[in-house]
Structure 1
Amino acid sequence: MQISGRDSNRYQTFTRRAALLAGAQGVAFVVLAGRMYYLQVLKTDQYRMLAEENRVSMRLLAPLRGNIVDRFGRILASNRQNYRAMLISEQTPDVEATLTRFSNIVEIDEYTRKRILRDISRSPRFMPVTVAEDLSWDEFAQVNINEPDLPGIVPDVGETRDYPYGEELAHILGYVAAVSEKDLASAEGDQPVLKLPGFRIGKEGIEKTYDKELRGVPGSSHVEVNAYGRVIRELSKDPGTPGSEVVLTLDMDIQRFAWDRLKGESASAVVLDIHSGDVISFVSAPAYDPNQFNMGYGTAEYKALLESPYLPLMNKGLAGMYPPGSTFKMVVGMAAVEAGIDPANRVFCPGHYSLGSHDFHCWKKGGHGAVNLHDAIKHSCDVYFYDTAKRIGIEAIADMARRFGLGETYGFEVPGEKAGLVPTPGWKRAVKGEVWHQGETVIAGIGQGYLLATPLQLAVMTARIANGGYAIEPRITRAVGGSLVPVKEPKFIGVSEDALRAVMAGMNGVSNEIGGTAYRSRIAEPGMELAGKTGTAQVRRISRAERLSGVLKNEDLEWRQRDHALFVCFAPYDAPRYAMSVVIEHGGSGSGAAAPVARDIMHEVLKRNPVRPQAGNPPRGAGRPARTG
């Protein structure tokens, strides 16, 4: 068969097109094959790694928080199992309906419900969000039994902070609580772990001060996930490094005794080792339950804490500022001796002291007669110290007060420390724009007026008197992570032996001589005698009519108008080792309210801690350290 010329041209065109198409297909095949070789052979390691990253997810694990223990290793804060329920929102078609059904088993208030929904909106749908914590075993069992009817709810067992002594240590340990938006904003490199469900950080007290050390190092879990991020199985797990243990200087037995002794009062008590500054006991009452802050206080409960007149949220030992009253008289006495006034000189007390047209009254209406420094401290004669303060001036008094730790902070490890106030003419000009009056010096002589001190400062003042004039500073941390915290070598204050000896003898008279204001609160056991000073600090001005009538008594007044009761002491008198202060708000009188409490606590301290060097501290021997400056 012959092909015509026209058909021949068509055939040749088709052949050329087929050849071009085949060539194009060949080129495409070569390019595709080359690309596949490049991806599957040359780039195999890179894409294997990328595939593994898509398949395997690394997730942070919260480390176990470190324990806090007392000086003998007794656990004060630790961790316990936390039965809880989590919600994964991608696993439920209706979050609101699931929460409603869950609330039939475990009650969820409106505030918690809003918090859960807020957390869900801020988290990936596959991430669990805490719905309820600290469930009882019965509640946890009910959740497990009803799990098929609670889509998205996942029962879980985690760890939570536990404070076995509750209120007794609340103001020292503080508490942990959930991470807030403010905490996240201020965090530097810790944001990922802070976002973990149920993670807690220290908010107050030792928990806050040593939060980083107690927190530990986060661990990780390698899990296999699908394309949606859902966990299929766990491949490996590193639990991380638990937080460091923090050892405190507290003796928990003494702490419990002091707490029980002050229970029912609005008060504070501080016990110090006069050589090392170790805090043996530190009580502020009333208090709150730190376990509740960990799990979350209800609105009504928290409001009650805020509105209580007894201020349970305040650490009174650190932040409560009170006129020191007659406990300040030792400072005035030492300033007088340093100014050249002979402690044997007598001042006549008729029951009042006149300055110009104003009379300043002694607490004893008929007066004490002629008294020297020893008698004035023993009987707490106000007139002696009115006269002495006027003679030596406010600047000399203020200088001695600062040497003994008043008007300053010590860098104490528990946050919230206040400096109190030691007033001077310069302070008054700067703050109030007014001149200083001589009557203000007179009233400062008995620890009233502008003077303010915290219970911790009063304990430090007493410790510095008892240790021979060394500027010890209080500390409550003994060791962190197995490393002892070194004891600072205290510097000598620069006060004469005569001054110290005179006021210490006067304090001994207060407690151990008939007629002393705290004689009824003495410790009679040989070798345990304490030396102290009572104080009664007015919180209101007594009118002339009230004073003349002599009828109105503290117990007749509203609680807020009653005098504060104070007592400071050290023991044993012959070989001092411990100092303490007690302040009972509106307690009436130092001799009647504060001194018996101080006696009982000090007696317990001496029974449990005989005079000997404490473990871990450099021995100094009994009594006062040798002067070095």
Structure 2
Amino acid sequence: MNDETELKKHRMFLALLLIVGLLAVWNIRLFWIQVVATRSFTGRGIDLLANSVIQRENGIVLDSGRGDFVDRNGDPLTGKELKVLTVFPVREEGSAGGRREESLNRIAEWMGIPGKEWHIFVRGLKSPEIWSESGRPVALTDSQAERIEALGLPDVRVMRYKQRYAQQQPASHVIGFIGQNPERIMEQFSGQIQKGELQLTSKIGNAGLEKTFDYWLQGIGATSVSLFTDGMKRPLPGLDVRMISPDNPYYPLKMVTTLNKGIQSHIEFQMERLGIAEGAVVVLDIRNADTVAMASRPSFHPGHVDPTEGHWSNRALKATVPGSIFKTVTAAAALEEKAVHPDETFECNGELGKYGFTCWKKGGHGHLTLEEGFAQSCNIVFAEAAKRIGAEKLEQYAQKLGLGTLVGWSGAVPGQADFRQWDGEEKGQVYHLSTDKRDEGALVQTAIGQRDVQVTPLQVANLVVSLYAQGKVLSPRIVQEIRFQNDRLHTSFPPRGLAPEGAAPISPDTAQRLLAWMKEVVDHGTGTALQAAKWPLAGKSGTAQLTLKNGKPGENHWFIGYGPADQPRYAVAVLVQNVPQGYGNKSVPLFKEVMDILAAP
């Protein structure tokens, strides 16, 4: 019995020894295939394990998964989908290699690619790449895509690629840009880093709407494509190209803006045509203050921005000297405080007689009422009116009309307790903190929009809206709602009014009177050139004196107003900034061009 037991143990030991031996031989064989055999066949070492996954590791991201912006009509502002040529590093030999070479030559011919350039690209591939020119993927026509797909090449595929920014990106200053920002990721998105949803190298919104709406824009994963090959870089049958996608019908989200893409693009074209080097245009729906268009110069492309150089600057949100358009505020204060009788006249002989204060018209305008002084933009009339109003009251009325405060849409929304739609919006000011408001010399300069006064184009366009709203100050929106990918509503941003602290609206009577005075500016005042526009227009001109960076005198040229004058639809502010003194005023021609665009069917 003992002998039989010992025999069984001996057999089991031999069996285990045999199994261990077989495993050892198997491992030696795998090692030989991994290191030795590949060297003898190819003359160089190939890591089969690394090569089995290299395509997946270096796959192409076709869609980052980030949410997109669309205009009010649903036309995309970002995320245009392109058909692109995707090439994978695959080796073909023998007759298959010859057919592949012939097919590649045909592709180059169809796409107009120089043969030498094309073959250098294909043979130099170490990872999958999209055919690009000047760093941008080349979009295929439908005909090109059909021809290429018909070839059936395993290493050349037509893919759908989502391009974040177009080559001629509309509303680029409004949209802003994305980029790496490890410090802000650590500060604001530490929770998402811990969950693995973000990395320090992830691209987030760094400016504009990309930044303010980043909370909703972050997607749930990218769509990528990989080609799986064996160690010889040959496609694995049935497991070659694999698409990896979140496949969620709700995400990414869509930010539905208030912009009109067509109007936006036409305005940007006209600014370029007129040679506007610096400035801004703001178009608001006069009924609810929604932003129809917003353009800024100098231009920039969001795909070619170094965030450390600070090239992005939306001039429509930056405060600068307004000049005579501020007389609208002074007139409102004079009417509300009954500081000036409607029939009262002032004498303008070109000079105030002190402070070195003069009128823009040499020799003066003669006798003018406040209404006539508004149409002719007489400095003397408004200086005299301001002396009766006083500095404190003048500043109060500026605040009542939405100046000296942030006017852009803000409020509590789900996920964001104190949310502001606009990035980088400035408050502006009427008086600097250090200015003595008892100084009459400072007061008369302030009354005509000089000295310390600074406003943004968004604020003064909204000032026109406020007059149309009978003195009620609204808060301009740029995004009206957020929708899921299947178009179900996610979040809405309803129109709302702005109530500056301690301020009450001006009276409807004063608001209506100022709107009527703006018509007179075009009828027989400083804006008569606008009579050639497609619509009857109304507004107020302004020329602000300033000092340029080179120390020489310069000007800001403004025009604010509305149209059509008989049935108002749009409020517009135009700024041509930092113009050397003596150059022609381009704000009126630009205002006309903008209104003609809006008048087009």
State the TM-score, normalizing by the size of structure 1.
0.65
Q: How does 1:285-324 map to 2 (within 5 A)?
A: 285-293=297-305, 313-319=312-318, 321-324=319-322
1:249–1:476: 8 Å Cα contact kept in structure 2?
Answer: yes
1:567–1:590: 8 Å Cα contact kept in structure 2?
Answer: no
Q: 1:414 pairs with 405, 422, 433, which one? A: 422
2:475–2:496: 8 Å Cα contact kept in structure 1?
Answer: no
Q: Does 2:211 align with 1:218?
A: no
1:41-81: CA deviations, max 9, x gaps? xxxxxxxxxxxxxx99x999875333322222222211446
Moved more, 531-540 or 168-177: 168-177
Q: Rg larger in 1 or in 2?
A: 1
1:308-363: CA deviations, max 9, x gaps? xxx963211112x22111001011011011112223221111111134xx331011
Q: Which residue of 2 aligns with 1:281?
A: 293
Q: 1:398 pairs with 395, 398, 402, which one? A: 395
Q: 1:330 pairs with 324, 328, 331, which one? A: 328
Q: Which residue of 1 aligns with 2:347?
A: 348
Partner Cα distance (2:76, 2:293) in 1: 15
Q: Which residue of 2 aligns with 1:271?
A: 283
In structure 2, the CA distance between the partners of 1:534 and 1:328, relative to structure 1 (3 Å rule), is same
1:533–1:567: 8 Å Cα contact kept in structure 2?
Answer: yes
Secondary structure, in 3 states, of the residue corresponding to 2:565?
coil
Q: Does 2:386 align with 1:386?
A: no
Partner Cα distance (1:607, 1:595) in 2: 19
Q: Does 2:598 align with 1:596?
A: no
Q: Does 2:576 align with 1:584?
A: yes
In structure 2, the CA distance between the partners of 1:332 and 1:221, relative to structure 1 (3 Å rule), is closer
**Residue 576 (structure 1) shift:** 2.2
Q: 2:558 pairs with 563, 566, 577, which one? A: 566
Q: Does 2:513 align with 1:510?
A: no
Q: Does 2:356 align with 1:362?
A: no
Give the residue type in structure 2 aligned to 1:598. F
Give the residue type in structure 2 aligned to 1:285. R
Over the aligned positions, Cα root-mean-square deviation in angstroms equals 4.4
**Residue 390 (structure 1) shift:** 1.1
In structure 2, the CA distance between the partners of 1:333 and 1:144, relative to structure 1 (3 Å rule), is closer
Q: Which residue of 1 aligns with 2:442?
A: 440
Partner Cα distance (2:555, 2:468) in 1: 27
**Residue 507 (structure 1) shift:** 1.2
Partner Cα distance (1:139, 1:153) in 2: 20
Partner Cα distance (2:220, 2:598) in 1: 38
Give the residue type in structure 2 aligned to 1:406. L
In structure 2, the CA distance between the partners of 1:578 and 1:139, relative to structure 1 (3 Å rule), is farther
**Residue 141 (structure 1) shift:** 5.1
Q: 2:537 pairs with 527, 530, 544, which one? A: 530
Q: Which residue of 1 aligns with 2:546?
A: 539
Partner Cα distance (1:86, 1:605) in 2: 48
Partner Cα distance (1:381, 1:590) in 2: 21
Secondary structure, in 3 states, of the residue corresponding to 2:505?
coil
In structure 2, the CA distance between the partners of 1:394 and 1:252, relative to structure 1 (3 Å rule), is same
Q: How does 1:1-20 map to 2 (within 5 A)?
A: none
In structure 2, the CA distance between the partners of 1:274 and 1:137, relative to structure 1 (3 Å rule), is farther
1:565–1:589: 8 Å Cα contact kept in structure 2?
Answer: no
**Residue 139 (structure 1) shift:** 9.5
Partner Cα distance (2:583, 2:574) in 1: 9
**Residue 201 (structure 1) shift:** 3.0
In structure 2, the CA distance between the partners of 1:142 and 1:385, relative to structure 1 (3 Å rule), is same
Partner Cα distance (1:261, 1:558) in 2: 28
Q: How does 1:404-483 map to 2 (within 5 A)?
A: 404-412=401-409, 413-423=421-431, 427-428=433-434, 436-481=438-483, 482=487, 483=489
Task: Name the count of aligned residue pairs.
Answer: 477
**Residue 471 (structure 1) shift:** 1.1
1:13-33: CA deviations, max 9, x gaps? xxxxx99x97xx89x99xx9x
In structure 2, the CA distance between the partners of 1:85 and 1:539, relative to structure 1 (3 Å rule), is farther
1:77–1:161: 8 Å Cα contact kept in structure 2?
Answer: yes
Partner Cα distance (1:504, 1:169) in 2: 29
**Residue 204 (structure 1) shift:** 2.0
Q: How does 1:21-420 map to 2 (within 5 A)?
A: 63-79=64-80, 80=82, 142=119, 145-146=122-123, 153-155=127-129, 159=161, 161-164=163-166, 166=168, 168-177=170-179, 179-186=180-187, 187-191=189-193, 192-195=196-199, 200-218=203-221, 239-240=245-246, 241=248, 242-263=251-272, 264-265=275-276, 266-293=278-305, 313-319=312-318, 321-341=319-339, 342-355=341-354, 358-412=355-409, 413-420=421-428
1:274–1:472: 8 Å Cα contact kept in structure 2?
Answer: no
**Residue 574 (structure 1) shift:** 2.8
Secondary structure, in 3 states, of the residue corresponding to 2:398?
helix
Q: Which residue of 1 aligns with 2:156?
A: none
Secondary structure, in 3 states, of the residue corresponding to 2:304?
helix
Give the residue type in structure 2 aligned to 1:329. K
1:221–1:237: 8 Å Cα contact kept in structure 2?
Answer: yes
Secondary structure, in 3 states, of the residue corresponding to 1:313?
coil
2:328–2:514: 8 Å Cα contact kept in structure 1?
Answer: yes
State the TM-score, normalizing by the size of structure 2.
0.68
Moved more, 383-392 or 341-350: 341-350
Partner Cα distance (1:175, 1:184) in 2: 15
1:266-288: CA deviations, max 9, x gaps? 11110101221111110101211
2:533–2:595: 8 Å Cα contact kept in structure 1?
Answer: no
1:91-125: CA deviations, max 9, x gaps? xxxxxxxxxxxxxxxxxxxxxxxxxxxxxxxxxxx
**Residue 407 (structure 1) shift:** 0.7
2:322–2:556: 8 Å Cα contact kept in structure 1?
Answer: no
In structure 2, the CA distance between the partners of 1:168 and 1:220, relative to structure 1 (3 Å rule), is closer
**Residue 536 (structure 1) shift:** 0.4
1:269–1:317: 8 Å Cα contact kept in structure 2?
Answer: yes
Give the residue type in structure 2 aligned to 1:372. T
Partner Cα distance (1:568, 1:422) in 2: 18
